[in-house]
Chain A
Amino acid sequence: MTFAFVVGRVVFVVAVAVTVAAVTIVGPGRLVETRRTFRERFDAIVPYVGLLAVVLVANKVARDVGPEVSELVGIRITGWLRRVDGRLLWPLYPNDTPQVVAWLQSMATPELTAYFSLVYVYGYVFLLVFPLVAYVSLPRPEPIRRTMIAYGANYLIGVLCYVAFVAYGPRNLIVEQAEGLLYTQYTHYQFVTNAVNDETNVFPSLHTSMAVTAALLAWTTREEYPIWVPISAVLAVSVVVSTMYLGIHWATDVLFGIALGWVSVAIGRRFETTPPTVSGFKDRLDGLKNAIPVRRR
């Protein structure tokens, strides 16, 4: 019941937020136009929708099977993450360098905890869902295609990393210095986060990479939605900080998450005009083969 209730509330709040944003940012004109030309627009993105569905199914399988495989073949890197995190603030504190997460939490207040908890759950979902609505409402299909490819790339690369690396977040290791604030203060969210992800899926931070992706995509559509650029930027930065503030991710996860977000957008732009296909992939592979000089007799 707790689980259904929490999920219901997230869905409701995000639906309201997306509706409000759609009316104010996208505007009634675009929405009406989208409704009218829905079929054509849908046709323009069909191959991409299929691709995203494949990725999401693969991801679901990987998240169920992944942790088990990961337990057997994955490299345990928690110790390394802790070590690297402990050095990142060296320029600020050369003598007694604190852990990034502990440093952030040293500034914690109940208000900040509430803000970051809300952003981590609601803000994040909104940040990902709204672009889909906003970009479907644009007459040119590239932004929505780019978005779907970029989201898919995030998931795919993220899941591969989760299988390859086994890592636990700060809340599971440096418990004296960092608290799993979201889960001790707003425990009910843990039923949801636990259902969508495994606690060893920490490196890299998908929250970060997806948020960064959404913000970078906002920049690519700044002509159409200028107001979405600052909103998404503030939300993305808040999500990124929240992952560390709440003790869920190491700063190193976040750095790699930012890189992944950037790479994903690059991949999205690369394939926004032609969807990646199996034959296309084969062609490129053949091209690669031909590029390597092979001595023939």
Chain B
Amino acid sequence: MVPDGVGDRRAFLAGATGAIAAASGCLGGMRNLAGRARTDQLSLRISTVPASHDPYAVRIANRLAANLERAGIAATVDPMSPDVLLRETLLNHDFDLYVARYPSRGDPDELRSMLYSAYGEEAGWQNPFGFSDLETDGLLDEQRTVPDSERPEVIGELQRRIVRHQPFTVVGFPDRIGAVRDGQFEAWPEGGLADPTAYLRLDRVDGKSTLRLSLRNGRITRNRNPIAAEHRDRGALTGLLYESLLRTGGDPADPIPWLARRVEWDPEGSPAATVRLRETKWHDGEAFTARDVAFTYGFLKDTSIGGFDTPVPTPWRRGRLSLVDAVDVRSTDELRIEFTTENRTLAHRALSVPILPAHVWWDRAGSADIAGIDLVGGTTEALVTPNEAAIGSGPLRFEAATADESLSLVEFPEHFLHAGDTGGIPDRLSDPPRFDRVEFDVVPSHDAAVELLAADEVDASADGLGASVVPRIVRADEVSLATDRSEEFYHIGYNCRRSPMTDPRFRRTVARHLDRTALTDDVFGGYGTPAETPLGGRWVPAELEWDGAARLSFLGTEGELNVDRARETFREAGYQYDGDRLVRRAPS
């Protein structure tokens, strides 16, 4: 019966009230019980990219999920395309755990971008974990102020702290596996075309003038914005179009003067330098001047150019910008730059951000909107523009692209390399490119990349390949394998804003569900090295060097998890079990 009309409704309400009143005797006890939150099994989502994009990440995620599952946590691997993963983790901070490759270049100052507390609220490549720790912040600042000789010690302490607190868990360093075709081009660098300078080092054998490359990640065909966080990681391809004052090819202490003809340091102790620029042009024919450089440093610090209440800094290369204090234009080809650090190696880092043409980007400081409606707030046009025309100053110019299919870059004859203005640039880089166009062909998988190589449809793979295609590379005629150690590492990222990832004990226990030795053997196919720290070489304190076992050791043997030990470790960390499920109070 449905009460109809006012009178009926009153009668119904009166009846209901009476019934509740009659039952109120047992209500007190019920409230005590029902008022307590239920316990539910802890479930975690592990975000990663599908195997066709990254065959390693999904395997690491699967292993971790399987082991956590056995320890009583409902863990689900959630594959998503690379730009969605970057958007969810870097911009929206919407994740529990993720597995990805960090595009490191082995510079300790990168850790500041990764972990500095003040970056936790920002959207971009800086502190996606939302990690905050005063001691870590102190060390991150200290490594910028101490002399070079004392830096390894500070960095060592920092790495110890990272291992202890586990804002992220390092899994290992995979080798960069490149595949190149012999015959048409030579002087292929080890590891293939890992960064922009590698393209310039190529030598051509015969009269061929088109360099044909396969490309697995086609984001550059859709988006050529050099500062769009969800589309850039290393910026290897945008680095062909956009250049910086210095290029650090190899040794960061000895960078190559690029757009800067010369960098003259003020006498010892004063953190400032006078920068003389080379004479070159933007791809649209406008002259490159000191004004562009000053604009870029100001713009990347606040892409709204003072238009918003809160500055909107670049979400990519943010850490480097914080090394610059002030930029003054002296003349059209001379600037004075003051740094926040006296350490010149670090200052070099600040001089290697992409320089943008002021006349193009000035108009992108406005609020980003869709059909006139500002949906997101606090976002400038500069961060979301696909930047299709990609007006840069590089030796190659954008010509055409078909989304997710192909990209053509052509030689830019007005580049300074053609004018012979090459003072300070090492010989093998100082010639103009040996090809007059580069054709990128987007391929659906690493297998497909090797297929095109074997069929002589491409000369090399532009991005690194997975170990599973190594046998195919070796089998193919006239195709060689080019491998190299890499500074990029796989890691598990924790969203430290979300419980229970807020708890370092929890993160430390999760880290102990990974057997790095087994992972590097099975996942990297032997092409890689296990590690527990994000930086290798001289930055690793002796006790953290990889010796076959992690400091936070695996809770099992030879890849096989010891379930009882895993549960015991979670219990010791304060977590509770109901049967074989790790349970937590359900949030009400």
Contact = CB atoms under 8 A, between A and B. Distances in A.
Interface of A: 1-2, 71, 76, 78-79, 82-83, 166, 168, 171-176, 180, 183-184, 187-188, 190-191, 194, 199-200
B450 to A, nearest CB: 8
A245 to B, nearest CB: 17
Interface in B48-78: 50-52, 55, 58-59, 62, 76-78
B447 A183 contact: yes
Nearest to B56: A175
Q: Nearest 7 pairs between A and B by C-beta?
A: A172-B50, A79-B76, A194-B444, A187-B451, A168-B50, A187-B447, A175-B51
B556 interface: no
B62 A175 contact: yes
Contacts of B445: 180, 183, 187, 190
Contacts of A82: 77
Contacts of B450: 187
A62 to B, nearest CB: 16
Given A176-B62, A190-B448, 14 more contacts: A2-B452, A71-B84, A76-B80, A78-B77, A83-B76, A171-B52, A172-B52, A172-B58, A175-B58, A184-B447, A187-B450, A187-B451, A194-B448, A199-B50
A79 B78 CA distance: 6
Interface residues of B, number: 26
A172 B52 CA distance: 6
Contacts of B468: 184
Contacts of A188: 451
A190 B78 contact: no
Contact of B52 (A166, A187, A199): A199
B88 to A, nearest CB: 10
Interface string B68-110: 0000000011111101100000000000000000000000000
B26 interface: no
A46 B357 CA distance: 57
A188 B50 CA distance: 20
Contacts of A173: 50-51, 58, 62, 77, 79
B58 A166 contact: no
Contacts of B141: none
Nearest to B75: A79
Contacts of B50: 168, 172-173, 199
Interface in B452-495: 452, 455, 457, 468
A80 to B, nearest CB: 8
6 contacts: A2-B452, A76-B78, A171-B52, A183-B447, A187-B448, A191-B444
B218 to A, nearest CB: 11
Given A175-B58, A175-B62, A166 B451 contact: no
Given A2-B457, A78-B79, A190-B447, A175 B55 contact: yes
A103 to B, nearest CB: 17
Contacts of B76: 79, 83
Nearest to A193: B444
A168 B54 CA distance: 13
A253 to B, nearest CB: 15
Contacts of A76: 78, 80
A184 B449 CA distance: 11
Report which residue of B58, B59, B79, B455 has the largest number of chain A beta carbons within 10 angstroms of its beta carbon: B79
B444 A190 contact: yes
A188 B450 CA distance: 11
B81 A71 contact: yes
Given A183-B447, A187-B447, A166 B80 contact: yes
A176 B59 contact: yes
Contacts of A184: 447, 468
A79 B48 CA distance: 12
A274 B448 CA distance: 47
A188 B52 CA distance: 15
Nearest to A80: B76
A267 to B, nearest CB: 32
Contacts of A172: 50-52, 58, 79
A2 B79 contact: no
Contacts of A174: 62
Contact of B451 (A2, A71, A180): A2
B189 to A, nearest CB: 26
Nearest to A169: B50
Contacts of A187: 445, 447-448, 450-451
B403 to A, nearest CB: 9
Contacts of B55: 175
Contacts of B59: 175-176
B447 A1 contact: no
A195 to B, nearest CB: 9
Contacts of B444: 183, 190-191, 194, 199
Contact of A200 (B51, B81, B447, B457): B81
A160 to B, nearest CB: 20
Contacts of B79: 78, 168, 172-173
Nearest to A79: B76
Report which residue of B55, B58, B450 has the largest number of chain A beta carbons within 10 angstroms of its beta carbon: B58
Report which residue of A180, A184, A187, A190 has the largest number of chain B beta carbons within 10 angstroms of its beta carbon: A187
B75 to A, nearest CB: 10
A183 B448 contact: yes
Contacts of A2: 451-452, 455, 457
Contact of B77 (A79, A166, A191): A79
A168 B84 CA distance: 14
A98 to B, nearest CB: 14
Contacts of A78: 77-79
Nearest to B452: A2
A175 B55 CA distance: 8
A199 B404 CA distance: 12
A79 B45 CA distance: 9
A170 B192 CA distance: 30
A259 to B, nearest CB: 25
Interface string B30-46: 00000000000000010
Given A71-B84, A76-B78, A174-B62, A191 B51 contact: no
Nearest to B87: A71
Interface string B420-460: 00000000000000000000000011011011100101000
A128 to B, nearest CB: 23
A183 B445 CA distance: 8
A173 B76 CA distance: 11
B426 to A, nearest CB: 38
A168 B58 CA distance: 12
Contacts of B84: 71
A2 B451 CA distance: 9
A18 to B, nearest CB: 28
Contacts of B51: 171-173, 175, 180
A184 B52 CA distance: 11
B47 to A, nearest CB: 9
A168 B444 CA distance: 14
B68 to A, nearest CB: 14
A173 B49 CA distance: 9
A188 B81 CA distance: 23
Contacts of A200: 81
Report which residue of B45, B80, B450 has the largest number of chain A beta carbons within 10 angstroms of its beta carbon: B80
Nearest to B47: A76
A191 B455 CA distance: 13
A151 B53 CA distance: 32
B439 to A, nearest CB: 13
B457 A1 contact: yes
A191 B445 CA distance: 10
A2 B212 CA distance: 15
A186 B81 CA distance: 24
A172 to B, nearest CB: 4
Contacts of B451: 2, 187-188
